Amino acid sequence: MGGYFSDIFYGGKSLLVGLSITFREFFKPTVTVQYPYQTLKMSKRFRGHIELLGDDEGKTKCVVCGMCERACPSGCITLGSVSVDIEVDGKIKKKKVLSKYDLDFTRCSLCGQCVENCNFGAIDFSKEYNLASTRKEDFHFNLLERLKRMERLEVKNA
Ligand code: SF4
Ligand code: SF4
């Protein structure tokens, strides 16, 4: 008989403890979001995959010096360039223009060597965290195309 009442007592006590925790948490600020309808804003120091940065006109700042490609210890970066004619002070000169900036994110360790070695501020870590796929091909990024897409998005949302 004693065991019966002690079970009721401890059962009731545990229920009250549980409810008090629920009640306390109820008034604390919300730290979760309604994923995937809401997304988080990443901190300044967050490292997503690298991305090309655009200038004021949305064009790449990359001068195809190749430093990032050489600095990457994992061989993630593949650059391509084309030579175009430009007019400087009435004279036609050749200029190297970026035609390809591919990133194999499956091999990237986010070490930051590429970003640190770019003297033109042309690349940085993106705030992209929402990446999921079962196909590794989905982690091969055409960063030049991505820059153009982001620019189009910004123009559309302006
Ligand atoms: S963060 Fe490191 S591993 Fe990733 S692309 Fe840059 S240099 Fe390569
Ligand atoms: S180091 Fe910078 S400027 Fe040079 S190729 Fe890489 S992104 Fe372009």
Residue 126's CB: how many other CB atoms inside 10 A?
19
Q: pTM to 2 decimals?
A: 0.79
| Structural domain spans, the chain | 1-31, 50-157
pLDDT in tens, 93-151: 999 999 999 999 999 999 999 999 999 999 999 999 989 999 999 999 999 999 999 88
Q: Considering only CA atoms, which residue is closest to atom 1 of ligand 1?
A: 110
Q: Considering only CA atoms, which residue is closest to atom 2 of ligand 1?
A: 111
- Cβ atoms of residues 122 and 61 within 8 Å: yes
CATH topology of domain 50-157: Alpha-Beta Plaits (3.30.70)
57 pLDDT band (50/70/90 cuts)? confident
Q: Is the CB of 42 under 6 A from ligand 2?
A: no
d(CA 123, CA 107) in angstroms, rounded, equals 18
